Chain A
Amino acid sequence: MIKGLKSTAVGLTTMAFMTGAAFANPYAEYEGTTLIVNFPAHPHYNAVMQILPEFTKQTGIEVEVDQLPYLKMRERQTLELAQDEGEYDLIAYVVFSKADYVYADQLENLAKYFMNPKLSNPAYDAGDLIDGYVYNIGFAGGDKGYLQGSTGSLFGIPYGSETSVLGYRKDIFEKHGLEVPETYDEMLEIACQIPELEPGMGGLSSRAASGHHAAHAFLLHLNTLGGAIFDDEWNPVVNNAAGVQAAEALKSIVDCGPEGATNFGFGEALGSFLNGDTAMFLDTTVVAGQIDDPSKSQVVGKVGWAMHPMGVKRASQTGGFGIGIPANAENKEAAFLLMQWLTSKEGDKLVAMAGGNPSRFSTHADADVNAKFPHMATFGEALQYADPDWRPIIPVWGKINADLGTTLSKVLTEDLDIQEALDGVAERTKAVMEDAGYYTWN
């Protein structure tokens, strides 16, 4: 009897110890696992590379990173995700890929991981993640099929997401007594004043090259000016008054921009601002690191940041990357733990300090982060207005986007009439949507 009691006591103690150990280290079960992850070559993910050793130190889970140029990454994923057993346990993907991957059932629904008490960290604080980013990059199945909403669910978490802000040359603005533009009218006026005030300098550098560059720049203005590509019934409305106004804004920006602006891709537009050839830059937040890097920039310390100016509403873009678990991954649970750690408050702050783009409101407000990157507070403010629906994320978008971008390029370079150009885009978009079955229920 005593012997029996003894063994029960030993057993209970061991169990208690084991349970205690499990509480102390939820990662123990996965120690020694090697995760293979696919990340893009991108400033944010370069920062991530610096913090991964910390994850391995804390958890014992090894991470092997396959870092590829962004377009190559997408190609590789397309092939990998279609296999029965994939190579990757965790992938970073761009917003467009969300539509493709979720539609093809290639990304894990994250509900079962967040429901699992052994995996889900109660201190995660999902409410602190930037809503606009989460809805844009993580959700699918809700409103319009590609957003959050009553029927939506979560497939990824924003990581390396971006929004749009206005960078301006403080020295030039001070020299000529210019006010930082609050509205579109003010911004356009200043953009065209600059070449007169500072001969040889462009007003605002924008992407404008044929294809997705021109389309991106146009969409940046379209949403803020109250326009959209589709109405609620998927009818193209890009050719309405707001659409025309957005295209006019783009044309005016390019006309008053630096020389050769009609062929600027993202690299050239940024390069022109970094070289000091333009006074303003309206694009993604991801550039802040480069602007403050003396080896890349000639305007270190001369750039101020402001929110994306207001049109009929205040709205900035949402884009960049998110991370998700492929449906054919081998180590899904360990991959979730890595995903959760990277996007936790601790991980987000670490990556921000290493020069990455934080995904949490709290990180944007963090004192240490702001001491190192003073622009972070403005970015955090801009993020309150980050609009997840500034462009449609549907499988046929690639085709519509390309048509929009090449047509706008004709407006910018061949003086094609704006209304005529957008009418053409709307007509062709309608045909693409019809073909893809969007009017089946009409």
Chain B
Amino acid sequence: MRTAMANRLTPYMFMAPAIVIMALALMYPLGYMIWGSFRDWNPSQTIGEAEFVGLKNYITLWGDPNFHESLGVTLRFAFFVVSIEMVLGVGLALLLDRDIRGISVLRTMFILPMMIAPVVVGLMWRYMYHPTVGTFNRFLDGIGLPTVDWLGQHALMSIIIADIWQWTPFIFILSLAALQSLPRSALEAARIDGATAWQQVIHIKLPLMMPVLIVTGLLRLIDAFKVLEVILVMTEGGPGLSTEILALRISRTATEFRELGVAAAMSNYLLILLLLLTVAMFAFNRWQETRAARVQALVEEDD
């Protein structure tokens, strides 16, 4: 009897260390943040001293126009950067997936922007966007075109461009890896059947790459929702609130307004949003796989 019990418990005992570490490393900080979001907590207090206010922080945020504006900016920013980066990154991968001389050097150069520290990227772009001495305006001026108020009138567009510059390589490198691991037999078969290069891309390469692309897109999306340093350095969220994405607002709420509880509540809203997106994307992926399996089954039945 005792042996049977021990046998049943053995797997759990093996799992126990991992569970304990997970609970400590993952769940505790998360729980701390959730607990903090129910409190009127200022950084001069310990969490225990802070007054419990229930859902007040969440309700206040729900009606706060500045929070809405930040959320809007975040959604716009994430939508534009991820969609443009996906198109450019996958496009570049499709173009460079071939044997050209010096391709490895070219590939390394493409991924350089990703390796630069975000603060440096922010500073670099800020100076390139400088109204008088910046690279872009000097160039425009040089060819006789009117200069552009990059970080003033077009601040959101400017930070989107900088982000695209930095993160397109990430999508490029993952797409390239996906492309190179595609089954050559399918492509060969298509070529024998007379498929054009464009048809191969649309009907074979992209559908086969889809699972990787979904994960890549998701990773970029999560990252785009959390980007902070580059924007902080470039615009500090301005002018007005036009580039104040949620991560920046959270940081300002915690440090400038000294409202840790509200900042925690805002982080939780962001977390919920990201969870929803992740679930939605995986559900979509699953749905596509099932559909593909169904089509496959139908094809087999027909045979």
Contacts and interface: CB of A to CB of B under 8 A. Distances in A.
A associates with B: yes
Interface of A: 71, 74-75, 78-79, 81-82, 100-101, 103-104, 106, 209-213, 258-260, 262-263, 265, 277, 395, 398-399, 401-403, 406-407, 409-410, 412-414
A82 B237 CA distance: 30
A403 B64 CA distance: 12
Contacts of A259: 131-132, 147
Contact of B259 (A82, A258, A399, A401): A399
Contacts of B258: 100, 395, 398
Nearest to A275: B133
A402 B257 CA distance: 8
Contacts of A263: 131, 151-152, 235, 238-239
A277 B240 CA distance: 25
Contacts of A395: 42, 258
13 contacts: A79-B43, A211-B252, A260-B130, A262-B149, A263-B131, A263-B235, A263-B239, A277-B132, A398-B257, A406-B238, A406-B241, A410-B240, A410-B241
B185 interface: no
B237 A104 contact: no
A81 B242 CA distance: 35
A210 B257 CA distance: 15
Given A259-B131, A260-B152, A409 B44 contact: no
B196 interface: no
A407 B240 CA distance: 6
Nearest to A262: B152
B156 to A, nearest CB: 12
A306 to B, nearest CB: 27
For the complex, would chain A's binding face be called helix, strand, loop or mixed by DSSP majority?
helix
Given A71-B255, A406-B241, A82 B151 contact: no
A101 B238 CA distance: 29
Contact of B236 (A82, A209, A399): A209
A401 B236 CA distance: 15
A409 B257 contact: no
A413 B66 contact: no
B239 A262 contact: yes
Contacts, number: 95
Nearest to B149: A260
Q: Which of B42, B44, B153, B252 has the most CB of A within 10 A?
A: B44
A88 to B, nearest CB: 15
Query: Which of B46, B147, B152: most chain A Cβ within 10 A?
Result: B152
A101 B44 contact: yes
A260 B131 contact: yes
Nearest to B262: A399
Given A209-B238, A409-B239, A402 B130 contact: no
B300 interface: no
Interface in B218-251: 235-242, 244
A210 B237 CA distance: 7
B45 A82 contact: yes
Contacts of B244: 210, 406
A275 to B, nearest CB: 9
Contacts of B130: 260
Contacts of A277: 132
Contacts of B237: 210-211, 406
B303 interface: no
A211 B259 contact: no
Nearest to A260: B131
